[in-house]
Structure 1
Amino acid sequence: MHDSKMPQAIAPTLFLSDCDVASITDWSAAVAALADAYAHPTSDAMVPPRSMARGDGFWLRSLTAVSPAGGHMGCKLIAASMRARCASYLIALFNQQTMALSALIDGNRVTGLRTAATAALAIDLLAPQRTLRVGVIGAGFEARGALDCLMSVREVARVRVFSPTPASRERFAESFRPALDIEALNSAQEAVQDCDVVICAARSRDESAVLQGAWLPAGVTVVSLGSTLPEQREVDVVTMERAVCIVADMPQEVLHDTGDGIAAVSAGVKVAEKLIPLADLVAGCVQPRRNESDIVLYKSVGSALQDVVIAQMLYERAKQQGLGIDLPASIVPVSK
């Protein structure tokens, strides 16, 4: 029997450009959407491991997920070339009921948006319920997004930032003034002293750890965003060892597929026993700290669930605001 087109009318596929995404981005809405999604039960089958096809100096990564909150399922594709030093991001959203292709979205900003919003959600649940003192290692878009998003959900008293490039850290600090008490410092060790939260969103050129666990004050919440592959390093073994729990958006990937996790396991750190899924933290199923002095770590590798939830939020906001382009042709579901 041959496939045949389904008879019902299908709404046009909406295309959202990078500019469209920028105009409808909202930190608070992103955090709220993620909190709602992570509060729903999610099976491993709904968020399978990512896959990566590698060429000589380039790769194509695929992340797929079904939103547990209903609505859509989707896929993010990342095409990247280390030689050309460029990447393209595409998110496709499919309606869970009709299988129609609801949207194609430029995923460039979505990656940063979901990373920052998930980090802010984790910090809000892990850090003390008071005005926060924040140390930042890194001055790129991930560090900027994480701090900006955190300020949308929590009061921040002061920030100390370090980046290896003096001009970069000064620009970072200046961009938050005068609304924020922020200072650019000459070392990562200085930046993390006396902090409630350390946001780490940087890697060294030789992939040695940029955050040393020996520097960490008691009771600190560490967020690691910059090392997501086996060949990448961001936090050292002592950081992983001192953490009483390691909250992860994708626990098995953090354990087996990040340089930080691999190095810690090789050094004898019982990482698997410390791992807590972010979903369990959001659902209130775990108590990450036993004492105020306990150090906790949130380590992110990124999840298709985050991408799909944020993309759905952007799609719904775009429809409400009349933004985006309806494509003249689309994929039409077929009978099976």
Structure 2
Amino acid sequence: MSVIFLSEDDVRQLVNMSDAVKVTEQAFQHLAEGEAFNQSRGRLRTNDVMLHALAGVDRKANQLGWKMYTTTRNAARFLVGIYDGTSGTLEALIEADYLGQLRTGAASGVATKYLSRQDSQTLGLIGTGLQARTQAWAIAEVRHLKQILVYGRNAERREAFAKQLAEDLSIEVIPCKSVEQVVEPADVIVTATISKSPVFEGKWLKAGTHINSAGSNFLKKTELDLETLKKAEIVTCDSRDQCHLEAGDFVEALSQGILSWENIAELSDVATGKVSRESAEQITLFKSVGLGIQDVALGSLVVERARDRKMGIELPF
């Protein structure tokens, strides 16, 4: 079978957020069963470019592949490779910017499905970029939202983002002038920023809130303050191994003894019911850094549908 190339436009036609949440949930369940495996991200750099590489294998779904991308001061370029799980031959190369936006949002969607209160209706969203948009899509897949509150530092961008998100989801989206206005009423909070320092104060959190921290995946960056980590009774992440390398949100709390690695659960534990919310008053937290197995799970579905629909450009090897 020939190798195919799938563009960003192809990916947008082939999968949506509902698909992403389903395959992401399955991937984390397979991780819990010992049937899937994740290779933590590695990074190398020249003077001007950073190369990022991560990979995953799902034996139960017979899927394997990798994601590689480069970042500079001005751009990021993403590529996913998917292999046949039986022969080991390369099946497809996929442009993966949009795919990455979907799979990152989907992980927060899975965490929210299991850790937030089922009656959660208000989403507080901090950040107005592409990742923030798909985070909201994912939360709307798993909870019946009635209102989304949005904060970003640029007022014009905040207004435009809120308008676009309201059109996306047919939900009331209110641009707020302060972070406090977003956090205090929220049942679910998402942080999706590039901030190096905390973006809200933990003292603003109400009982029963669930938090998804999805912005930072460098040790020198954090979106969460110590008060938030103190208040969170259930703290989870996508991978402890990868968070050792990338979760700046945990660094100070670990050094001060507020957190310990033994008490940080993985999303695989959550998706299989090993860890769950015990009361409506608990504050819960999911820290996302992004795993290769997520890219493989969604990328494999993209390839399957592309084959069915005869989409993609055949490559000469």
Which TM bucket (shorter chain)? over 0.9
CA distance in 2: counterparts of 1:20 and 1:57, whole angstroms: 30
Change in 2 beyond 3 A, CA 1:130/1:45:
closer
- Partner amino acid, structure 1, of 2:262: E
Q: Which runs of 5+ in 2 are unaligned?
A: none
What TM-score do you get using the length of structure 1 for normalisation?
Answer: 0.89
Q: How does 1:1-336 map to 2 (within 5 A)?
A: 11-40=1-30, 41=32, 43=34, 46-82=37-73, 85-177=74-166, 179-204=170-195, 207-287=196-276, 289-327=277-315, 329-330=316-317
Change in 2 beyond 3 A, CA 1:68/1:296:
farther
Provide, for residues 126-147 of structure 1, a one-character-per-residue CA deviation record: whole Å limited to 9, x for no partner.
Answer: 1111252111111111111111
Shift of 1:176: 3.0
CA distance in 2: counterparts of 1:164 and 1:264, whole angstroms: 26
Q: Are the aligned partners of 1:59 and 1:81 in contact in 2 as well (CA < 8 Å)?
A: yes
Shift of 1:252: 2.8
Provide, for residues 294-316 of structure 1, a one-character-per-residue CA deviation record: whole Å limited to 9, x for no partner.
Answer: 11101100000101001001111
Shift of 1:125: 1.0
Shift of 1:282: 0.6
Q: Are the aligned partners of 1:261 and 1:271 in contact in 2 as well (CA < 8 Å)?
A: no
Change in 2 beyond 3 A, CA 1:312/1:212:
same
Q: Secondary structure at the match of 2:76?
A: strand
Change in 2 beyond 3 A, CA 1:185/1:248:
same
Q: CA RMSD in A?
A: 1.7
- Partner amino acid, structure 2, of 1:259: G
Matched residues, number? 314
Change in 2 beyond 3 A, CA 1:45/1:131:
closer
CA distance in 1: counterparts of 2:142 and 2:309, whole angstroms: 24
CA distance in 2: counterparts of 1:51 and 1:42, whole angstroms: 25
CA distance in 1: counterparts of 2:206 and 2:120, whole angstroms: 17
Q: Are the aligned partners of 1:42 and 1:68 in contact in 2 as well (CA < 8 Å)?
A: no
What TM-score do you get using the length of structure 2 for normalisation?
Answer: 0.94
Q: Which runs of 5+ in 1 are unaligned?
A: 1-10, 331-336
CA distance in 2: counterparts of 1:16 and 1:93, whole angstroms: 11
Shift of 1:253: 2.6
Shift of 1:258: 2.1
Shift of 1:285: 1.4
- Partner amino acid, structure 1, of 2:118: Q
Shift of 1:43: 4.3
Q: Secondary structure at the match of 2:80?
A: strand
1:4 matched to which residue of 2?
none
Which runs of structure 1 show a deviation greater than 6 angstroms over 4 or more consecutive aligned residues? none
CA distance in 2: counterparts of 1:297 and 1:69, whole angstroms: 29
